[in-house]
Chains A and B, each alone.
Chain A
Amino acid sequence: MTFDDLRTTWQSQASACQPKIDLPVLLQILQRAKRDFAAMILRRDVLEVAIAFLMFLVFLNDYSDSREWPLLLLASSCLFVGGFMVIDRFLQKRKAPKLFDPLQSCIKESLTAVNHQIWLLKNVFWWYLLPPGIGVLTHYCYIGFKIIPTLESTGAAFGIVCFVCVVGITMMIFWWVYNLNQNAVEKELLPRKQELEQLLENLQ
């Protein structure tokens, strides 16, 4: 058999090898999938940002009631994290890969998106954990230094233990969030990056 014979067999198979499609049902599914996808993107984009801004308002409100300055630090760290996410997503959305572009462009755009995601998660400590971390620890210290000196010796010792425990638990939560992000880089993003690089290398 020659390659041209093979091609003829292949093309004759194309018409025989087609599934029967229920078109009205398919169009309904596509409409619904589009809505679900848009809702999923909205949830993903809005939820974290909304929580950050909500926390900002809560801490700002607490500050206006109590006038304790560490609350202002916490509020501004939440505002920073929320603002960072909004700007980052806005910039990245404009660079999102388009599936109707040529394969090479689509791979490059996807690679840029994956690289950015890796950068974001590898640096999660600096933009996501450190700002609220400083705010939280400052607030704990402020409360601790305010309350512990007013307690009697046994009460003060108990207060110090509680303080250390609260700080320790907070640090553990931050460490867990950090690890979660680094695992996502190692297990999902780096393999994906290698796969895309391999595809690009084969094309060039």
Chain B
Amino acid sequence: MTDKQDNIFTDWLDQHLGLIMHIVRAYAIVPEAREDLFQDILLQLWLSIPNFKGNAKETTWIYRVALNTALVWNRQEKRRQKHQTFLDSFKEIDSQNAGNDSIENLEIINKLYIAIRQLPKTESSIILMHLDGLAYQEMAEVLGITASNVGVKLNRAKKSLGRLMKGLIDDL
């Protein structure tokens, strides 16, 4: 399974790394915590591949593993190994990105993350999925609730977000 597992994992990283980064940034604030969470999510995602039978969409599966790792998995048992790293430090990534994007957009996104972190965790997860373009049915499959329930919770979450970002979002 290892070669096939590695290939699937590589494909997933190529296509969906952005989703994982959103979850990492939403649920971990300081760069060290982000690196820990990022590595944990990648490990759990890689370990989950033998159980992936293609019944769920890739994005749904990745969201499930990433959200469960961020919200439910007790990470106290495992500590990150510091002696070898596979990515640029998150501090460096943040400073690189500052040069790549318009300052205005970066400010908006940073404010959005700050607001998302203030929401209850389940509401923030719904907002993240909505921002990433998941359909109601996909969100329902990630969360294990009905699509209509997702609709109700999304409206509530959007209103809370609107209150937190007053003056920035006009239509909430």
The chain A residues found within 8 Å of chain B, CB to CB, are 1-3, 6-7, 9-23, 25-34, 37, 40, 97-107, 110, 188, 192, 196, 199, 202-204
B145 within 8 A of A: yes
Judging by beta carbons under 8 Å apart, are B68 and A106 in contact?
Answer: yes
Query: Which residues of chain B come closer than 8 Å to A7, judged between CB atoms?
Result: 130-131, 133
Judging by beta carbons under 8 Å apart, are B74 and A192 in contact?
Answer: yes
CA distance A99 to B6 in the complex (A): 19
Q: Which of A1, A22, A100, A103 contacts B87 (CB 8 A)?
A: A22
Judging by beta carbons under 8 Å apart, are B108 and A101 in contact?
Answer: no
Judging by beta carbons under 8 Å apart, are A1 and B170 in contact?
Answer: yes
Query: Which residues of chain B come closer than 8 Å to A103, judged between CB atoms?
Result: 64, 67-68, 71-72, 122, 125, 142-144
Judging by beta carbons under 8 Å apart, are A23 and B13 in contact?
Answer: yes
With A99-B65, A107-B72 given, is the CB distance from A9 to B109 under 8 Å?
yes
Query: Which residues of chain A come closer than 8 Å to B6, judged between CB atoms?
Result: 27
A-B contact pairs, 17 of them (CB 8 A): A3-B171, A7-B131, A10-B109, A10-B131, A11-B133, A29-B39, A33-B81, A97-B73, A100-B51, A101-B64, A102-B143, A103-B67, A103-B68, A104-B143, A104-B145, A106-B72, A107-B72
Judging by beta carbons under 8 Å apart, are B108 and A102 in contact?
Answer: no
Judging by beta carbons under 8 Å apart, are A17 and B93 in contact?
Answer: yes
Q: Which of A23, A98, A110 contacts B10 (CB 8 A)?
A: A23
Query: Which residues of chain A come closer than 8 Å to B109, judged between CB atoms?
Result: 9-10, 13
What is the 8 Å Cβ interface bit string for chain B, positions 99-142, against chain A (1 contact, 0 not)?
Answer: 01100010011001000000011110100001111000000011
What is the 8 Å Cβ interface bit string for chain B, positions 129-171, against chain A (1 contact, 0 not)?
Answer: 0111100000001111100000000000010000000001111
What is the 8 Å Cβ interface bit string for chain B, positions 39-79, against chain A (1 contact, 0 not)?
Answer: 10011101110011000000001001101110111101110
Judging by beta carbons under 8 Å apart, are A25 and B72 in contact?
Answer: no
Give, as a whole number of angstroms, the nearest-CB distance from A183 to chain B: 15
Give, as a whole number of angstroms, the nearest-CB distance from A35 to chain B: 12
* Chain A, interface SS category: helix
CA distance A132 to B132 in the complex (A): 57
Query: Which residues of chain B come closer than 8 Å to A104, judged between CB atoms?
Result: 143-145
CA distance A2 to B120 in the complex (A): 23
B17-38 at interface with A (beta carbon < 8 Å): 17-19, 21-22, 25, 38
- CB closest chain-B residue, reference A41: B77
Query: Which residues of chain B come closer than 8 Å to A34, judged between CB atoms?
Result: 43, 46-47
Query: Which of the listed residues B21, B69, B72, B108 has the most CB atoms from chain A within 10 Å of its own CB?
Result: B72
Judging by beta carbons under 8 Å apart, are A105 and B87 in contact?
Answer: no
- CB closest chain-B residue, reference A5: B169
With A11-B131, A202-B123 given, is the CB distance from A29 to B108 under 8 Å?
no
CA distance A20 to B108 in the complex (A): 24
Judging by beta carbons under 8 Å apart, are B100 and A21 in contact?
Answer: no
CA distance A203 to B64 in the complex (A): 14
Give, as a whole number of angstroms, the nearest-CB distance from B37 to chain A: 13
With A1-B169, A99-B64 given, is the CB distance from A19 to B72 under 8 Å?
no
With A9-B108, A102-B141, A103-B143 given, is the CB distance from A30 to B43 under 8 Å?
yes
Judging by beta carbons under 8 Å apart, are A3 and B158 in contact?
Answer: yes
